[in-house]
Structure 1
Amino acid sequence: MLTSTIKILLAEDHSLVRSCLQEILQTNPRYEIVASVASCEEALRSLQNSSPLPELCILDIQMPNMDGIECTKAIRENYPQMKIILLTAFDHDAYMEEGAIAGINGYLLKDTSVEAFYRSVELVMEGQFVAPLKLMSNISVRLAQLKEFEKNKTIDNLSRLLSKHTISLDNKELEIVRLICLGWSNRMIAEDLYITEGTVKNYVSRMYRKMSIHTRSELMRLLNDEQE
């Protein structure tokens, strides 16, 4: 059962955005802000010193030094029952997937209406996962594509599929394509291949130019079309 008020920790590095979020939350008597900080490091320190703990952390996804996803991992490790919402301007399903793997309970865009924001917080506190419908739909499509792709995920098969379009990729590029199609984020690929995330992005940009595509969804369509 929910308590009469929801205690919230807010972490947002832009002071103007943080002030607006505070005002939105404080307008509703249902919410009590117990900490409002400008970095993930401050958020973690605040949690260590909080008694009682907040029930919900709302984190900006992009902050200096430690981002919201890394902060989520740290919170989840130490406070497994904590509810966590990532608040972001980026409607990219890759970010949402990475956040979900880290253990978030919700992924909200900063242009969400106040009413939808309140509703999403309540749903998260009830144990539901919330995210924009568009992103959830993209993931559902990709999961269906993934089941098909799993049958032909070897490097040799990928090379044969792409050769039908006279597209030639080296082994490192083919491995990155394979991991992308398995739903891995750039960060996860970088960690697995022991290269920087920036290097992965450079590889992806070069590969996309070779394939005349721009997104992961287009890549999946290209490969699945060739398997039919």
Structure 2
Amino acid sequence: MSKQSKITIAIADDHTIMRNGLAELIKTLGAYDVVLQARNGRELLELLQTSTQVPDICILDINMPELNGYETTAQLRQLYPAIKVMALSMFDNEFSIVRMLRSGAKGFLHKGADPDELSNALQTLHTEGYFHTELMLINSLRKSNNWQTINITDRETEFLKYCCSDLSYKEIADLMKVSLHTVHGYRDALFLKLRLKSRTALAIYALRTGVVTD
């Protein structure tokens, strides 16, 4: 693959060793060219303003000083909508993942991912427009089923909307004026109907089907 046809990457991470190590690893994969590196979101945006090349993908650490991953993603979506954002974190926290997706990220990758997973994530994000294990499951569901035929009740729809927040199940129960047991029932019923297994998956389903607008 020629340099001109390589997928271009920008990385923003305040940990220098991590950032440099990731850049070197990406370079060894062959299909990618790391064109920008920044210590935080603010520096990334400044570099983009003066760069002659807009990268295809930005890999963003969620927890950065000055401008964190959520704020940076939101600004990138507004200023550079063609850039696909891959969120990067040491913690596979469902609230962080959903918040990044609502900010405009198109993928999530754990910092402990191996090189093959990293390569697959970048390639899938570039070609399919998204990457996350739960997103892949939901895309399979969308292709194999007509979502319009799945009977989701009004109360389950309301619960789905709350799944996209950082509210606990107990807080959701209080807002819906039902017991925690009933909320767990909504969750389990949706798991069964949609063939999903986590709250993150339910939130992504709600976002991708328009139940919740990001």
Q: Is the 8 A contact 1:11 1:36 kept in 2?
A: yes
AA aligned to 1:68 is G
Deviations 1:119-160 (A, max 9, x none): 110111113311134x8769x9xxxxxx8573378xxxxxxx
Identity across aligned pairs (percent)?
26
AA aligned to 2:129 is Q
Shift of 1:94: 2.1
**Paired position in structure 2 for 1:82:** 83
AA aligned to 1:6 is I
Shift of 1:179: 7.9
Q: Is the 8 A contact 1:108 1:132 kept in 2?
A: no
**Paired position in structure 1 for 2:94:** 93
**Paired position in structure 2 for 1:35:** 36
Deviations 1:9-61 (A, max 9, x none): 10011112112101201213321111111110001101111102111111001
Shift of 1:185: 2.6
TM-score calculated relative to the size of structure 1: 0.63
Shift of 1:183: 2.2
- In 2, Cα distance between the equivalents of 1:220 and 1:136? 26
- In 2, Cα distance between the equivalents of 1:34 and 1:219? 50
AA aligned to 1:70 is E
- Greater RCO (Cα-Cα under 8 Å, separation 6 or more): 2
- In 2, Cα distance between the equivalents of 1:18 and 1:60? 9
How many aligned residue pairs are there? 176
Q: Is the 8 A contact 2:10 2:34 kept in 1?
A: yes
Alignment pair present for 1:221 and 2:201: no
Determine helix, strand or coil for the equivalent of 2:85. Answer: strand
Gaps of 5+ in 2: 142-150, 175-179, 189-214
Alignment pair present for 1:150 and 2:154: yes
AA aligned to 1:221 is H
TM-score calculated relative to the size of structure 2: 0.66
- In 2, Cα distance between the equivalents of 1:219 and 1:117? 39
Shift of 1:78: 0.7
**CA 1:39–1:222: 2 relative to 1, 3 Å:** same
**CA 1:27–1:223: 2 relative to 1, 3 Å:** closer
Gaps of 5+ in 1: 141-146, 154-177, 187-199, 208-212
Alignment pair present for 1:61 and 2:62: yes
Name which one, 1 or 2, has greater alpha-carbon Rg.
1
Alignment of 1:12-31 (within 5 A): 12-31=13-32
Deviations 1:76-116 (A, max 9, x none): 10111111111112212222222222221211111111111
Determine helix, strand or coil for the equivalent of 2:95. Answer: helix
Shift of 1:219: 8.2
**CA 1:148–1:11: 2 relative to 1, 3 Å:** same
Q: Is the 8 A contact 2:84 2:129 kept in 1?
A: no
